[in-house]
Chain A
């Protein structure tokens, strides 16, 4: 080939650059048209941003469970959404009882602590059982096998909880100290949203420190590197894996209660969509990477909250929020085109 392009100007690269330019143009045009349109006030934008942050924090918490398990076992635990649901749904009944007795609003802080505890306990138990029953017997099997059991376990849990608690959608009791808003840097934030954002941030930082600073955390990282060598070095691999599932379950349980407080509803199917979205967030941030999952969750939440209004109002799209999933999944696709390992992931090819 006489006119062969230099290595760094491959066709793929040119297509990517053109695609990127087109994308930037579309986004820029949409955003500037929206701002010129002036339909939304500054207060409305700030409200959309806090909404997105709250949703993103919850995605981040759930995404931890996906990313931790993937980082160590290289399987995708598709039943994680149900682990999330099981805690929230069980805590609903505790919340209702506390509400009926008046305790919920007499001692709101203690009540929220009780709810979190119950939810985390149930979710952790379910996560540990899941590992013991659905995944450990298949530890040596090809990676597709646990993927299928995960889907089976997910359906099983959904229908078990539907049988236990019924198919009705339940309204979570209101907690009086969480209604109303506070002003932070001119952002009007709902108190429930504040709890969600602060709680999620706290838990994610705690998890990061746990993994980086503690002995168990180091053992987890070691097992993620190589299970056999870790075992030779005296690490109890089974115990580390159970711990991983337990931590994922705990965070999912906490996310469940925060979700219910923020969105005011629970039902047996509530884990499915958040599960898929959190998995998306984990992939977006780079699956296997804890910081990546947190970042991916926040980005996805902000995209869902702000992007439809910001991007599509300018194009006069009717009811833009209906297209929020289109936007967030398009972003996922584009991120994976430019950075196949996710935002913070490694780019080495890896089959799932």
Chain B
């Protein structure tokens, strides 16, 4: 088929308009702050200000896994965010509104979601992500755009490692340096097991968590008989299971996510050499959806670590949980309180950094970041929160271990 003469002209026009659109997206912050910003603070701020006009709502983004097999994890956090916003009330006469994006628990999803959120100039800060694999690219993108990103459930150590930490990234979740060590301690001391093997799925969360576990377990006198890996999306776990089964470990640790964790538990029960092996996982599988994916019989007896929800203090049980259960039913995962704390910290920081100008509000982005990082001795649900310069805000986080008993989670340690 011969293309008509005008085809190339139309194509050129199309490309040019794309270029123009792309350029236009980059410009507004400078024209806005130069044009109608009344405050010098906005001009001085490297990333400019978020402007909230009279009568408009302050917009917060969420970037959580709210679709697909891991949605229990993200929706639980999103409900926590929503409750925090509802309880906080208005800031200087402006209500707070949420823009929700999905991150799919993948690097691609984190990238797409973060791009979409930072392209919206009126979003002041983002609560997210759920999964560390999505958090790595998202932290980079939001930090490049000067948007604060605070995660309720990213736990991979690399995210707040001084070498790889992104300047606008924080989290209220525990660092897996704490969780991996706690699990190793539980397995070695309380269960009294001497040999263990691990399987991860190549995601930053699982890979780093099993490594912390393995290092701690070894240093406390245990023996790691094998460290295998599968791929996210795999259904055939038998080769990996057979590989670790060769050494007949007493404990098999697979801190992965719902689908792969379910398949590992189901196929692991019938792998020769693992008949007497105890299974364990972590907070990525600490949801009824995982029990469903594994089958209740196969999940039975598995040990799962996660944040200790016995927070003490009356607020969580007397006010937060009733509000949550009334609106959304029983919690499906374990990071709603971390999401609540993260959101409240953001709202406090906005209140502190915002410049009131008549009926409108100007939030300098760098000042907002500084206010977040200056959070110190803040009494949240999940503990006393103090952010260090790498974005870890919950250094005193405690870990509990639950066991699946009759298809439900039962807290057994500490």
Contact = CB atoms under 8 A, between A and B. Distances in A.
A144 to B, nearest CB: 13
Contacts of A306: 239
Contacts of B234: 273
Contact of A48 (B68, B235, B239, B262): B239
B97 interface: no
B293 interface: yes
A172 B293 CA distance: 8
Interface residues of A, number: 44
A167 B69 contact: yes
A82 B67 CA distance: 20
A174 B297 contact: yes
A321 B266 contact: no
B202 interface: yes
Contact of A168 (B273, B289, B296): B289
B230 A44 contact: no
A324 B267 CA distance: 18
B69 A168 contact: yes
Nearest to A181: B272
Interface string B67-111: 111010000000000000000000000000000000000000000
Contacts of B196: none
B239 A324 contact: yes
B294 to A, nearest CB: 6
B266 to A, nearest CB: 4
A322 B246 contact: no
Interface in B222-273: 227-231, 233-240, 242-243, 245-246, 258-259, 262-263, 266-267, 270-273
A322 B200 CA distance: 9
A48 B293 contact: no
A171 B292 CA distance: 6
Contact of B227 (A47, A179, A264, A319): A319
A216 to B, nearest CB: 34
B71 A264 contact: no
B246 A44 contact: yes
A188 B267 CA distance: 15
A349 interface: no
Contacts of B273: 44
B295 interface: yes
Interface stretch (A35-43, A241-249, A339-347): A35-43
A44 B242 contact: yes
Chain B: number of interface residues, binned into ranges: 35 or more
Given A167-B71, A321-B230, A264 B239 contact: no
B298 interface: yes
A40 B248 CA distance: 11
A273 B270 CA distance: 24
Contacts of A179: 270
Interface in A20-66: 39-41, 43-44, 47-48, 51-52, 55
Contacts of B271: 47
A320 B244 CA distance: 11
Interface string A162-178: 00000111111110000
Interface string B43-75: 000000000000000000000000111010000
B290 to A, nearest CB: 9
Interface in B150-200: 200
A309 interface: yes
Contacts of B262: 169, 171, 264-265
Interface in A294-342: 304-306, 308-309, 318-322, 324-325
Contacts of B270: 179, 190
Contact of B293 (A47, A170, A190): A170
Nearest to B200: A319
A203 B383 CA distance: 61
Contacts of A190: 270
Nearest to A188: B272
A51 B236 contact: yes
Nearest to A47: B242
A270 interface: yes
A273 B233 CA distance: 8
Interface string B263-288: 10011001111000000000000000
Most interface-central of A40, A167, A171, A173 (chain B CB within 10 A): A171
A47 B241 CA distance: 10
B92 to A, nearest CB: 40
Contacts of B233: 269, 272-273
Contacts of A259: 235
B78 to A, nearest CB: 16
Nearest to B199: A319
Contacts of A320: 228, 243
Nearest to B233: A273
A224 B349 CA distance: 70
A257 to B, nearest CB: 14
A304 B271 CA distance: 17
Interface string A182-200: 0000001010000000000
Contacts of B238: 47, 51, 305
B69 A47 contact: no
Interface in B7-59: none
A352 to B, nearest CB: 20
A264 B267 contact: yes
Interface in B290-313: 292-298
Nearest to B261: A169
25 contacts: A43-B272, A51-B236, A168-B69, A169-B262, A169-B292, A171-B293, A171-B294, A172-B295, A173-B295, A188-B272, A263-B235, A263-B236, A267-B259, A269-B233, A270-B235, A273-B234, A304-B236, A304-B239, A305-B236, A305-B239, A306-B239, A309-B242, A320-B228, A321-B230, A325-B231
For the complex of A and B, 9 pairs with smallest distance between CB atoms = A171-B295, A319-B229, A264-B266, A322-B229, A169-B293, A51-B238, A321-B240, A169-B259, A263-B235
Interface of A: 39-41, 43-44, 47-48, 51-52, 55, 167-174, 179, 181, 188, 190, 259, 263-265, 267, 269-270, 272-274, 304-306, 308-309, 318-322, 324-325
